[in-house]
Amino acid sequence: MTAYAGDGEGFAVTNPFSLVDVHNEWDPLEEVIIGTATGARVPIPDKGLFTLEYPEYGTVDKIPSGPYARHIVEETEHELSMLCDELTKIGVKVRRPEARDHAAKLATPDWQTDGFYDYCPRDVFLTVGRTVIETPMVLRSRFLEPFAYKNMLLEFFESGARWISAPKPRLGDDMYDMDAEPGRRLGNLEPAFDAANVMRCGTDLLYLVSDSGNELGWKWLQSALGDTYTVHPCRDIYTGTHIDTTIVPLRPGLVLLNPERVNDNNMPDYLRGWDHLWCPEMTETEYAGEYPYGSPWVGMNLLVIREDLVVADERQPALLRALEKHGINVLPMRLTHARTLGGSFHCVSLDIRRTGTLETYR
């Protein structure tokens, strides 16, 4: 691996101080945003929501729209608060988004919807070096989700961080194809991707091409980051939402992989020389409603605190043992309703600052 030495004009070299400063998934965590379940709801039905997130319900009108049950929200908020407390105890600064009314309507000339939640800041922003990027999210109901973090963004900007936003996608009905096979349902008419489709490994980033991130999104991100970085498109690995239940870098040269999705044929070339920790079979966990919003593999959705410590689901003993065999200690916690809300510890967090420098891990 080599440290990046820029000439002052590259994307990675900006202001000498910035509250935002993170280069990978494993450097020691200094500051993080943890989401909130307050006000969480399933948005009103629309073509995009059905096509990308709820096709198992058969028709658009059967989407279970409305607020999540009170006990789900309250239990999740309690567990998120416990997570915040544990992170604070080990010296990590924690921020939380402001409460918002997700029942409020929002509209463009093409559509109208209500909101979703602020549970998963990982989906909304991508932090790369000293830059925070608002990504062009694929669901209409999340169009204005960055507003929950506006005061933080202003503070980051004033500290010296670079703050940019991808072009807002139109998200017209022609962007969603209900009849396409999984992984092809999100159109390629304009850049669209959730930030959680990306994993950072220094000067290399992995970008999942799927129903939550299209080819134009990959091209836009590479263009925005410039020559300092290489964004590797990961195709035909996982058709669904986000990369962090499929590929989880743990430290330089070691990656946790989902054995149901990753194999020798579709392994990203960038990872072929790494050591592969194949995730053990997940212990089945509970969910509310007719169908889960997250698969059992949300159990491998963990937050790396540093190379030898992660936050992971206490209900996954086989995974915890596997991590410990590789010299990684575990802070065991739980998000009881992770499969109902669609996210666990990596999803509900956004690392703002880690101790480290930009390096190349090849």
Nearest Cα to Cα of residue 55 among 217, 245, 243, 183: 183
How many Cβ atoms sit within 10 Å of the Cβ of residue 174?
11
Cβ atoms of residues 35 and 303 within 8 Å? no
Q: What pLDDT does residue 16 have?
A: 63
- Say whether pLDDT at 14 is over 90: no
Q: What pLDDT does residue 99 have?
A: 87
**Please, which residues have CB within 8 angstroms of residue 179's CB and are 6 or more apart in sequence?**
none
Q: What is the mean pLDDT of the chain?
A: 95
- 120 class by beta-carbon count within 10 Å (0-12 exposed, 13-18 middle, 19+ buried): buried
194 catalytic residue (yes or no)? yes
DSSP string, 97-108: PPP--TTS-EE-
| Catalytic site residue from 194, 204, 244, 351 | 194
| Catalytic site residue from 114, 346, 347, 351 | 347
What is the tens place of the pLDDT at every residue in 224-264?
A: 999 999 999 999 999 999 999 999 999 999 999 999 999 99
pTM over 0.75: yes
| Catalytic site residue from 23, 102, 232, 242 | 242
Using pLDDT thresholds of 50, 70 and 90, give the confidence band for residue 15. low
Cβ atoms of residues 245 and 258 within 8 Å? yes
Cβ atoms of residues 99 and 36 within 8 Å? yes
Q: What pLDDT does residue 25 have?
A: 99
Cβ atoms of residues 20 and 156 within 8 Å? yes
Q: How far is CA 151 from CA 13, 85, 95, 154, 232, in A?
A: 24, 22, 11, 5, 32
Angle 28-29-31 from CA coordinates, rounded to 5°? 150
**Please, which residues have CB within 8 angstroms of residue 22's CB and are 6 or more apart in sequence?**
127, 128, 129, 200, 351, 352, 353, 354, 356
What is the tens place of the pLDDT at every residue in 52-68?
A: 999 999 999 999 999 99
Torsion on CA atoms 320, 322, 325, 327, rounded to nearest 10: -60
List of domains in the chain = 2-360 (3.75.10.10)
Pull the structure tokens for residue 233.
Answer: 């498109």
- DSSP label of 282: P
What is the tens place of the pLDDT at every residue in 160-184?
A: 999 999 999 999 999 999 999 999 9
Cβ atoms of residues 291 and 275 within 8 Å? no
- DSSP label of 63: S
Using pLDDT thresholds of 50, 70 and 90, give the confidence band for residue 7. very low
- Say whether pLDDT at 10 is over 80: no
337 catalytic residue (yes or no)? no
- Name residue 82's amino acid: M
347 catalytic residue (yes or no)? yes
Q: Tell me the average pLDDT across 91-116.
A: 96
Pull the structure tokens for residue 111.
Answer: 């559509």
Cα-Cα-Cα-Cα dihedral sign, residues 243, 244, 248, 252: positive
How many Cβ atoms sit within 10 Å of the Cβ of residue 177?
14
What is the tens place of the pLDDT at every residue in 319-360?
A: 999 999 999 999 999 999 999 999 999 999 999 999 999 999
Q: How far is CA 298 from CA 132, 214, 321, in A?
A: 25, 22, 17
End-to-end CA distance of the chain: 6
Q: How far is the C-alpha of 247 from the C-alpha of 333, rounded, in Å?
A: 21
- Say whether pLDDT at 1 is over 90: no
